[in-house]
Amino acid sequence: MPAKEKRMIVMRFGELWLRGKNRSDYINILLGNMDVKLSGLKYRVDKHYDKIIIRPSNSSFKEVLRRMGFLFGVSTYEVAYETEPKLSSIVKDACRIMESADGNGAFRINAHRSYKQHKFNSEDIVRKLAAAAEKNGIPLSPREYSREVYISVAKDFAYISVQRLKGLGGLPVGSSGRCIVLFSGGIDSPVAAWLAMKRGMEPVYVHMHAFPKASEALGSKIANLIEILAEYHEAYRTYYIPTHRFQVAALKTGRYELVMLKRFMLKCAEQLLDREKSMVIVTGESIGQVASQTQNNLFSEEQGISASVIRPLACFDKTDIIEIAKRIGTFDESVKPYRDVCSISAKHPVINSDPKAVLRIEKEIKLDSLAAAAVKSAEIADGSVS
Ligand code: ATP
Ligand code: MG
What's the CA-to-centroid distance between 170 and ligand 1, angstroms? 24
Q: Is the pLDDT of residue 216 over 90?
A: no
CATH of 178-382, one of 3.90.1150.10, 3.40.640.10, 3.40.50.620, 3.40.630.10: 3.40.50.620
Ligand 1 touching residue 311 (CB < 6 A) = no
Report the nearest-CA residue for atom 20 of ligand 1: 283
Q: What is the pLDDT of residue 15?
A: 74
What's the CA-to-centroid distance between 97 and ligand 1, angstroms? 50
Q: Is the pLDDT of residue 386 over 50?
A: no
Q: What is the pLDDT of residue 231?
A: 97
Concatenated DSSP letters for 129-168? HHHHHHHTT--B-SSS-SEEEEEEE-SS-EEEEEEEEEEE
How much is the average pLDDT of 339-361? 89
Ligand 1 touching residue 247 (CB < 6 A) = no
Q: Structure pTM?
A: 0.94
Average pLDDT value for the chain: 94
Name which of 261, 49, 273, 264 is nearest 155 in CA terms: 49
How do the domains of the chain map onto residue ranges?
Answer: 4-166, 178-382
Q: Is the pLDDT of residue 141 over 50?
A: yes
Tell me the C-alpha distance between 164 and 187, whole Å: 31
Ligand 1 touching residue 268 (CB < 6 A) = no
Q: What is the pLDDT of residue 17?
A: 66
What's the CA-to-centroid distance between 184 and ligand 2, angstroms? 5
CB count within 10 Å of CB 89 equals 14
Ligand 1 touching residue 340 (CB < 6 A) = yes
3-state DSSP assignment of residue 207: strand
Q: Is the pLDDT of residue 316 over 90?
A: yes
Ligand 1 touching residue 285 (CB < 6 A) = yes
Concatenated DSSP letters for 55-90? EE-TTTHHHHHHHHTT-TTEEEEEEEEEE-SSHHHH
Q: Is the dihedral of CA 31, 37, 39, 42 positive or negative?
A: negative
How much is the average pLDDT of 210-235? 92
Tell me the C-alpha distance between 287 and 168, whole Å: 26
- Nearest atom within ligand 1 for CA of residue 187: 2
**Distance of alpha carbon 175 from the chain centroid:** 12
Between 111 and 347, residue with greater pLDDT: 111
- Class of 4-166 in CATH: alpha beta
CB of 375 closer than 8 Å to CB of 271: yes
Lowest mean pLDDT among 204-213, 217-226, 342-351: 342-351
Q: Residues 38, 44, 47, 51: what is their CA dihedral angle, to the nearest 10 degrees?
A: -70
Confidence grade of residue 314 (pLDDT, cut at 50, 70, 90): very high
Between 46 and 386, residue with greater pLDDT: 46
3-state DSSP assignment of residue 362: helix
